[in-house]
Amino acid sequence: MKQILVVKLYAAAKYRRYFEKLVVRVRESGVDVALSDFEALPTMNSEAINSSYSGIVLSGTEALYTRTAERARFAGFLQFLPKITSPVLGVWGGHQALALAYGGNVTKGDGLVKGFRTVVLEDKDTLLAGLPAKIKVMQSHREQVKQLPPDFVRIATSSETKNEGMKHKSLPLYGIQFHPEKWNDENPAGKRIIENFVQKIAA
Contact, 151 vs 173, CB < 8 A?
no
Burial of 115 (0-12, 13-18, 19+ CB in 10 A): exposed
Helix, strand, coil distribution of the chain in percent, nearest 5: 30, 35, 35
199 and 190 in contact (C-beta within 8 Å)? no
For all residues of the chain together, what is the average pLDDT?
95
CATH number of 57's domain: 3.40.50.880
Tell me: the pLDDT tens digits for 13-32? 888 899 999 999 999 999 99
What pLDDT is recorded for position 166? Answer: 98
| Residue 1 pLDDT exceeds 70 | no
Mean pLDDT of 124-140: 94
- Give per-residue pLDDT as tens, 49-98: 999 999 999 999 999 999 999 999 999 999 999 999 999 999 999 999 99
Q: What is the pTM of this model?
A: 0.96
Domain extent at residue 83: 3-201
- The answer to whether residue 167 scores a pLDDT higher than 80 is yes
How many domains does one find in the chain?
Answer: 1
